[in-house]
Amino acid sequence: MNIILTGSLGNISKPLAMELIAKGHSITIISSKADKQKDIEALGAKSAIGSLENADFLIATFKNADAVYCMIPPNFAALDQVAYYIRIGNNYAQAIEQSGVKRVVHLSSWGAHLEKGTGVILGSHNVEVILNKLSNVAITHLRAGSIFYNLFSFINAIKKAGFISRNYGCDDKIVWAHPTDIAAAAAEELQKKLITGSNVRYVASDEKTASETAKIIGNAIGKPDLQWLLITDEQAKEGMIKNGIPASIAADLVDLNASIHSGAMGEDYELNKPGIMGKIKVEDFAKEFAAAYNQQ
C-alpha cells in the first residue's frame, strides 16, 4: 500500500512508519522541517516537506495514496487552539476529497464525543465532525487516552514542590496511552479495508487513578510518598498563568482537566472500551519517567 503519514518523526509517527515499512508498504512522511528529510529517508520512507496549513501541498501529497494517517501536531503559538484544529481539519478534508483517498485514520482523543466543556479536546471533536462529512471514504477515529508523555511536564513541580497538583487528581480515573501502543493500533487500522463511513476505536494502555499513577512513578524516582493533589479550577488556572501560560490556553487546559475530574471525559470510553489494551503499563512507563527525571 501507498500510505501517507503526518506527524513527522514524532513519538507516534516514527514507530508507525517503522512498522509499516517492515511490512512492505511504501511510506511517505510529511514534515514541516527540511532538516528531517535525511532522517526520514534513512528509515526507508519518502519525505514530503511542507506545511499542514497549505491545503494545495496536502492535495498534491495525498494524490495516489491508498491510505492517510492524519494527526494535528501541537502548536503552542496558537492562542485559540480549537480554531487551529478546525483550520487543519478543514485542510485535511479538502485534501482527502480532492485527492480521492479512500482510507483515513485520524488521531483523536478520549472525550472527543463531547461538544463542550473539554477545552482543547474540542479541537479533536470538531475535526471528527469535519471528516465525518466526507463521502465515499472509510474513516477511523483513534480516540487515544491521555499520552503518558504528558507526565513529563510534572517533573519540575515534583523537584521543586515535592508533589503533583492539578484540578483533577486523587481518586480520579485516568485512561493512559503510550505512543507505541497508539502506533500499533494506527498500523492495524491503516491496513484494513473497510466500507465507507466512519467508526471510532479507543486506544488505551492502562487505567489508573491519579493517586495510583503518582505512587508508581514516585517509587521509580525514589519518592514513594509522592502525592497527586486535587486543587480548584481557580487555583489551577492561576498557577498556569503565573508560569507563563497564556490565559486562553490555561482556560482550555483547566476545562480539559475538569472534565477528567467530573468523569465526563471518560463517559463514552467506558461504554466502548478496547477489547485488547496496549502493552505499556504505568509501571513500564515509570522507567522512562525516571530516566527523564534524572536527566533534568
> Do the domain assignments include residue 136?
yes
Domain count, the chain: 1
Q: Does the residue 32 lie in any domain?
A: yes
pLDDT recorded at residue 242: 94
State the cell numbers at 17.
Answer: 512508519
Q: Which of 129, 278, 98 is nearest to 200 (CA)?
A: 129
Single pTM value for the model: 0.97
Backbone angles phi, psi at 101, to 5 degrees: -60, 140
Residue span of the structural domain in which 63 resides:
2-147+177-203
pLDDT recorded at residue 123: 98
Does the residue 30 lie in any domain? yes
| pLDDT 10s digits, 263-292 | 999 999 999 999 999 999 999 999 999 999
Q: What is the DSSP string of 184-195?
A: HHHHHHHT----
Question: CA torsion, points 181, 183, 189, 191, in degrees to nearest 10?
Answer: -130
Domain annotation covers residue 170 = no
Does a structural domain hold residue 158? Answer: no
Is residue 288, in this structure, part of any structural domain at all? no
CATH of the domain at 19: 3.40.50.720
On whether residue 232 sits in a domain, the answer given is no
Cβ-count burial 234-254 (b if 16+ within 10 Å, e if not)? eebbebbeeeebeeebbbbbb
Would 244 be classed as within a structural domain? Answer: no
Share of the chain above pLDDT 90, in %: 97
